[in-house]
C-alpha cells in the first residue's frame, strides 16, 4: 500500500508537472475544442491492443523514447523509409522497433472521429503513457499540441540514441546532451522492466557473466523492481553499467527501497522527455497516416 507521505509526494509532483507542461507551449487540454475525445480513443485502442499482446507495452514506451530523443518529439520515428531516404526506423539502433503498425491503427481510430486534427507525435506520447499505466506503472499528464515532422533520417537515430553497449559514463553523457541528469537517466531506465530486449543488448552479459542465477521471464509490470533486479544478473549491458561508479550504485540502492520516490521521479522524467524540442505550429504537419508524410 502506498504511504500517505508518498501519495502526497506523487500528487504534488503531478500538479507541478501539469503547471510545467502548460508553460512549455504544449497543454494536456490542447484538443479540448477540436477533439475532446482524442485521449479516450487512444486509451481504448491501447487497452484493446495490450489485452491481446501485453508485452507490447514496452514497445509503446520505447517508441516514445526513440521518437523524442532524435530531434525532439515529432513523430519522425514512425515514418517509413523510401527509395530515396533511409528513415530513423531503419537505423541500426532502432533494430526491431515495435508498435508502429499499432500506432497507425490508433491513428485510424482517431481520424475516424477527428480527421486531420491529432498528430502522430501526440498519439505516440499518449500511447506510451497509457501503456505504462496498463502495465501497472505510474501515470503522468501528457502535453499535447505537437506537430508531425516531414523529415526522418537513420543517421540521426544512430548518432543521437544511446546504443545498448554504452558505458555508464557514455550513458551519462548521452542523457546530459538532452538536458538530463545521471539520476534521471537511472530512473528512466526503469522502463526496462517491461517489454523485450534483443541479443545485441545482452550479448556480453549472456556469454561473459559470472553470476549463477538463470535468466527469468520478464514480468509485464513496470515498477521499482527494476532497481532491485540490478543486484542480480541482468539482461541489458546498459543496465549492468548503472552499478558502475558510486553515484549509479547509490541511486540504484535508494530506488530499490520500498516507498522510494521512484514513481514520482519516473513520471517527472517522462513528462520532461515528452517536452524535448516539440515541433509546434505552424511548422510540420498533421499526417493522415503515421508511416507516410502527406
Lookup: cell for 202: 545482452
Cα separation, 230 vs 166, in Å, equals: 17
By residue count, the chain amounts to 294
Residues 6 or more apart whose CB falls under 8 angstroms from that of 221 comprise 135, 136, 137, 193, 194
The annotation status of 70 as a binding-site residue, yes or no, is: yes
Cα angle 190, 38, 28 (rounded to 5 degrees) comes to 60
Cα separation, 149 vs 152, in Å, equals: 8
The annotation status of 162 as a binding-site residue, yes or no, is: yes
Cα angle 166, 220, 141 (rounded to 5 degrees) comes to 80
Facing residues of 27 across strands?
A: 144
The annotation status of 67 as a binding-site residue, yes or no, is: yes
Facing residues of 292 across strands?
A: 289
Options 66, 153, 196, 198, the catalytic residue: 66
Q: Is 198 a catalytic residue?
A: no
β strands within 184-236, DSSP E: none
Residues 6 or more apart whose CB falls under 8 angstroms from that of 146 comprise 26, 73, 74, 75, 119, 121, 122, 125, 278, 279, 280, 284
The annotation status of 88 as a binding-site residue, yes or no, is: yes
Please report, in range form, the residues annotated as the binding site: 67, 70, 72, 74, 76, 88, 162, 192-193
Q: Catalytic residues, which ones?
A: 66
Please report, in range form, the residues annotated as the binding site for heme b: 192
Please report, in range form, the residues annotated as the binding site for Ca(2+): 67, 70, 72, 74, 76, 88, 193
Amino acid at each position: 500500500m502506498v504511504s500517505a507521505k508518498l501519495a502526497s509526494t506523487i500528487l504534488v509532483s503531478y500538479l507541478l508537472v501539469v503547471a510545467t507542461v502548460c508553460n512549455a507551449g504544449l497543454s494536456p487540454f490542447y484538443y479540448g475544442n477540436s477533439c475532446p475525445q482524442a485521449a479516450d480513443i487512444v486509451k481504448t485502442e491501447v487497452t484493446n491492443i495490450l489485452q491481446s499482446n501485453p508485452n507490447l507495452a514496452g514497445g509503446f514506451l520505447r517508441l516514445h523514447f526513440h521518437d523524442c530523443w532524435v530531434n525532439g518529439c515529432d513523430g519522425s520515428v514512425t515514418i517509413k523509409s523510401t527509395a530515396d531516404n533511409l528513415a530513423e526506423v531503419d537505423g541500426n539502433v532502432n533494430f526491431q522497433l515495435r508498435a508502429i503498425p499499432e500506432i497507425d491503427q490508433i491513428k485510424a481510430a482517431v481520424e475516424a472521429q477527428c480527421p486531420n486534427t491529432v498528430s502522430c507525435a501526440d498519439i505516440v506520447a499518449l500511447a506510451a503513457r497509457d501503456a505504462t499505466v496498463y502495465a501497472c506503472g505510474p501515470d503522468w499528464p501528457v502535453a499535447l499540441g505537437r506537430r508531425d515532422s516531414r523529415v526522418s533520417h537513420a543517421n540521426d537515430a544512430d548518432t543521437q540514441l544511446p546504443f545498448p553497449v554504452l558505458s555508464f559514463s557514455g550513458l551519462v553523457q548521452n542523457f546530459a546532451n538532452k538536458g538530463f541528469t545521471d539520476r534521471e537517466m537511472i530512473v528512466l531506465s526503469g522502463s526496462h522492466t517491461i517489454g523485450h530486449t534483443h541479443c545485441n543488448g545482452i550479448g556480453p552479459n549472456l556469454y561473459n557473466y559470472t553470476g549463477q542465477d538463470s535468466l527469468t521471464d520478464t514480468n509485464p509490470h513496470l515498477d521499482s523492481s527494476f532497481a532491485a533486479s540490478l543486484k542480480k544478473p541482468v539482461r541489458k549491458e546498459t543496465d549492468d553499467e548503472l552499478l558502475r561508479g558510486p553515484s549509479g550504485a547509490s541511486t540504484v540502492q535508494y530506488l530499490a527501497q520500498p516507498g522510494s520516490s521512484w514513481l514520482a521521479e519516473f513520471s517527472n522524467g517522462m513528462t520532461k522527455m515528452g517536452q524535448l524540442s516539440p515541433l509546434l505550429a505552424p511548422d510540420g504537419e498533421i499526417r493522415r497516416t503515421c508511416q507516410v508524410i502527406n
